[in-house]
Structure 1
């Protein structure tokens, strides 16, 4: 995470949403630019960076609109991301394959319960973050050197559903970081499926969301 004021990274972002009472899945496509606005020093010796998000349409032909801010706190041996009062330990030393840590341990139980009525994600604070792979990678047509993958969670049940599926869920999350750049890829899918009841007139539906994003430019 080589942060400095003025540095920016632009991502393509695919947002999975469920509309019409969860009966229809849509993919909304955007570009999102993350720019470091400010740096402050904490009393504990760490550095805090304020990052602004700007959002545009898929081809960035519209206006760039404010999409909020978040904070990144860099310590000697770890990096924390604070977004909407949710604190995640994104990176942790030592940087070696197989090393694990509880990256979501500071999250409350069911952190998205106020937004989505679902069981998926209730135990996110127990997820084990693990360095799984490292090396050169091609991500969405771009070549990167020294990429480290952090697997957060990978659990899928009855997704995609069949006509006889009564319940399904998907909890999949991972990130990839390239040395000298920072975050270059993110996949976060958190949703569940309810089969409904035809006799009672309840249609099958989904609840939750998904985000897939990859870097397309940086300075």
Structure 2
């Protein structure tokens, strides 16, 4: 009986060793492929500069006054530091002018950074989760995680509760070739931040951003509009009483 147990133990040990040896032989080491994660959709380095053409329409005085403006915005990563949690934070200086003949005028200093899982941007003390890694088509996340939905944004003296009821952000397409602003990009990711689909009769909330590999943000489009004229079937561009429409297109970067 004792010999039988020893024999059985030897057989079990031999079988376990054989299985381990088999898996060890078949196991291969896969190298980390950073491109699959999409980190290059959100490049951050000191000295990076982006110039955008911005067209906006602002609605005021219950829709009686409409301002159409065109301008240019330059964003430049001017420095970096490591915060208490060990994250590398980049200082993003923003400049504005209305024509090429004008000097750039600094308007804001924002911050941006990314981790292995997410990319963040703080604008006017509002923190957004702009991108997530790895990025996949159809992926959703709460881009306004750090915002209070009741946050009031002032536009031309009008107060807007801009972020109430926003959807989860969603990657609607990834690594698609697109021509935007006269520039051809081989790999573009489209992030739909929110879209009420026109189902809300008193508010219009639509926000979309596009990013290109190795470049970053290349296009932004917002429709943030309010009206009390809920019975009107006119398009929002006509019935809006407050809010704005904005289109921002990259025209130059380094």
Measured on the aligned residues, the alpha-carbon RMSD in Å equals 2.3
Asked if 1:14 corresponds to 2:55, the answer is yes
2:163 aligns with one of 113, 118, 121: 121
| Matching residue of 2:105 | 65
Between stretches 128-137 and 14-23, larger displacement belongs to 14-23
Q: Whole-Å Cα distance in 2 between the matches of residues 114 and 33 of structure 1? A: 22
Partner residue of 1:164? none
Partner of 2:122: 82
Q: Which one of the candidate residues 169, 176, 179 is aligned to 2:210? A: 176
Cα offsets for 1:50-109 (capped at 9, x unmatched): 11111011x322221111111002111111111111110000122110110000021012
* CA pair 153-84 structure 1, distance change in 2 beyond 3 A: same
Task: State the TM-score, normalized to the length of structure 1.
Answer: 0.84
Local SS of the residue matching 1:157: coil
Query: Does the residue aligned with 2:202 lie in a helix, a strand or coil?
Result: strand
* Corresponding residue number in structure 1 for 2:222: 188
Pairing partner for 2:245 from 205, 210, 213: 210
Q: How does 1:45-60 map to 2 (within 5 A)?
A: 45-57=86-98, 59-60=99-100
Computing the radius of gyration over CA atoms, which structure comes out larger, 1 or 2? 2
Preserved contact between residue 60 and residue 242 of structure 2 (Cα < 8 Å): no
Secondary structure of the residue aligned to 1:194 is: coil
2:151/2:161 contact within 8 Å kept? no
Change (3 A) 1:119 1:66: closer
Could you say if the C-alpha distance between residues 67 and 114 of structure 1 is closer, same or farther in structure 2, counting changes exceeding 3 Å? closer
Residues 1:25 and 1:99: Cα distance change in structure 2 (over 3 Å): same
Q: Are the aligned partners of 1:110 and 1:123 in contact in 2 as well (CA < 8 Å)? A: no
1:35-50 correspondence to structure 2 within 5 Å: 35-50=76-91
Counting strand residues as a fraction of each chain, which structure ranks higher?
1
Which whole-Å CA distance do the structure 2 matches of 1:120 and 1:64 have between them?
28
Aligned CA distance change for structure 1 residues 77 and 60 (closer, same or farther; 3 Å)? same
Shift in Å, 1:113: 5.4
Offset of residue 114 of structure 1? 5.9
SS for the counterpart of 1:148 is strand
Question: By how many angstroms is 1:210 displaced?
Answer: 2.6
Aligned to 1:101: 141
- 137, 141, 144: which one aligns with 2:182: 141
CA distance in 2, matches of 1:46, 1:119: 31
Unaligned runs of 5+ in 1: 160-166, 197-203
The structure carrying a bigger helix percent of its residues is 2
